[in-house]
Chain A
Amino acid sequence: MKLIEADDVNVYYGDNHVLKDISLSIKENTVTAFIGPSGCGKSTFLRTLNRMNDYIDTFRLEGKIEIDGKNIYGKKVKVEELRQKVGMVFQKPNPFPKSIFENVAYGLKIQGSNDKDLIADRVEKSLKQAALWGEVKDILNKSALSLSGGQQQRLCIARTLAVKPSIILMDEPASALDPISTAKIEELIFELKTKYTIVIVTHNMQQAARISERTAFFYLGNLVEYDKTSEIFTNPKHKQTENYITGRFG
C-alpha cells in the first residue's frame, strides 16, 4: 500500500528553487534511503514530509504531498497531529535536558495523558523497542545528557516511538556516531521496519545499500533516480547516479 505520495513538489527558499518537480511514492513498512551530495535537497524533501520547514520564513511549497491519502499541506491539517504520525530523528542526538524517563514520556504528556501506568508502560516498551531498556532500566531518573552519544540517539528513537507514529523520518541519524553505535542503529532500523515506514537520509552509501529497499538519488534539487536499492547500486540508469555511488563526485 502506498503511504506517502509526492506529486510535482517544488520548494523555494525565497528566490532559491531548491526542489524541482519531485514525484515519488513510498510504500508501507519499507525503508527508503535518500542519497545525494550535500545541498542536493534530500534533507529539505525529508522535512517537507512532517512540515518541519514551516519554521523557515522564506519557505514555500508547490505541488502536493499525500500521506494516507490526505494532503498534508491542506488547510484543515493540524501540524501537531501530522507530526505525531510522522516522527523524526535528527542528525545530532538532541535529548531534552530532562531525565531519561521524562524524555520518552514527553510525547504522551504533551498529548495530555495523565495516566501514570500507561505512561510508564509506554516508556518501557519504547525503550525496549529502541534496544536501550537493558542499559537504562536502573537509571531512568538520571539526566538523559549523561548517556553516551549512541545511547542518546537510541533514546531519541525511543522518544519518537512512544508517540506511536506510522512513519519515522531519519535525517542522517548515525552520522555523528562511532561505528559500533552506528551498527546498533542500523540493526534497530532493520527491526523497526516490520512495524514502521522509515525514510532515511544518509551520506553513507554502504549504509543505504545495507538497510534500504528503495533508494532515491537527489542531485541539485532534482530527483535523478528512484528505484530498488539493488538496482541503483548495481545497475544505475543515469550517469550522475553512477558517478555518485562510485565516488567520482559528491
Chain B
Amino acid sequence: MKKSTERLIEGGLAFSGLVTVLTTLAIIYVLLSESWGFFQEVSLFSFLTDVEWTPLFTNKHYGILPLLSGTILTTLIALLTALPFGITISVYLSEYAPKGFRKSIKPALETLAAVPTVVYGFFALTVVTPFLQSFIPGLSTFNALSAGIVMGIMIIPLISSLSEDALQAVPKSLREASFGMGATRFQTAFKVVVPAASSGILVSIILGISRAIGETMVVAIAAGQQPTLTFDPRDAVETITAYIVQVSLGDVQHGSLEYKTIFAAGISLFVFTFLLNNISYRLKKKYQEQYE
C-alpha cells in the first residue's frame, strides 16, 4: 500500500480516538465551568451538608445529600437484587448447563438488556409496586424499593453475562485438577472456578453498579421526584439523575441558578462514579496481585 494512504488511515484512526478523548474533556469542561457559577452563589459547605434540596421552591435549599441518599439507596437495592441472581445464573450457565442450552439461553438473557428502560420504569410503577403494596404496609406509590428491584432485574443480564465470560475464561485444566481430586461440581465451581474468575466477576459487579447509578428512566418514573434524606426503601426518593431530568424538562431559565443546579448535581454524579471506578481499579489490582 502507498505511504500516503497508509498515513491517511493512521490519521483517521488517531482522529477517532481523539474525538472520544476530546468529548470527555469537553464534558468535564462544561460541568466544571457551569458548576463554578453555581458554587459562586452556594457555598460548597452548605452544598455538602444541607439536608434539604429544594432549588425549585421559594424556600431554597441546595444540599446534595438527599439526592445522594436516593441514588445510593436505589443502587443498593438494585445490587441486592441483581447480585444473587446474576452470579447464580452465571455459575449455572458456565458450570452446569449443557452446551446447547447455554447457547440458546444466553442470547435470550441478553434481550432483557435490550428492553427500553422506559418500559422497565412503567413495569416498576404499574406491576411491581402494586404487587409489593399487597404485602408491604406503608409502601408509597412512588418508592425506592420497587425502582431498585426493577433496576436490579435490568442489570442481571449485564452481571450474569460478564461473569459468565469470566468463568468461561478459567482454564479447563483447573476444573480437571479439582474433579481429579474428588471434588463435586459444586465444590469445583465455588472453590476453584469462582475464585479464579473473581477479578472478572468484580468488574461485572462494578459495571453493574455504575449502570445502576447512571440509570435514569426507571427511577424518574417509579421512585418519585421527591428529594428526601432517607434510607427507608418504602419512601419516595429522588436520585441525582432523576433530578437532572426533572429540571431539564421543566421551564427553568437558561443561565439561572436553578439551571446551574443541573451541573452541580451532574458533577457530583461524575465525582461519585469517578471515585467508584478508582476503587474498583485498585480492588482489581489487589486481586490480581494475589494470584500472580
**Residues of chain A whose beta carbon lies under 8 Å from any beta carbon of chain B:** 50, 52, 55, 57, 79-84, 87-88, 90, 92, 94-98, 106-107, 109-111, 143, 145-146, 156, 159-160, 163
Contact = CB atoms under 8 A, between A and B. Distances in A.
B192 A96 contact: yes
18 contacts: A52-B176, A57-B99, A83-B180, A83-B182, A84-B182, A88-B180, A90-B176, A94-B173, A107-B182, A109-B191, A110-B182, A143-B291, A143-B292, A145-B291, A145-B292, A146-B292, A156-B177, A159-B177
Contacts of A97: 174, 195-196, 291
B181 interface: yes
A88 B99 CA distance: 26
Interface residue SS majority, chain A: helix
Contacts of B192: 96
Interface string B176-192: 11111111100100011
B138 interface: no
Interface residue SS majority, chain B: helix
Contacts of B291: 97, 143, 145
Contacts of A87: 180-181
A55 B179 contact: yes
B98 interface: yes
Nearest to B291: A97
Contacts of B290: 143
Q: Lowest 9 A-B CB distances belong to which pairs? A: A84-B182, A94-B173, A88-B180, A97-B291, A83-B182, A107-B181, A80-B182, A94-B177, A110-B183
A113 to B, nearest CB: 12
Interface string B181-220: 1111001000110011000000000000000000000000
A84 B182 CA distance: 5
A94 B176 contact: yes
For A57, A92, A96, A143, the residue with the greatest tally of chain B CB atoms inside 10 Å of its CB is A96
Given A57-B98, A90-B180, 4 more contacts: A52-B176, A84-B181, A94-B173, A96-B177
Contacts of A143: 290-292
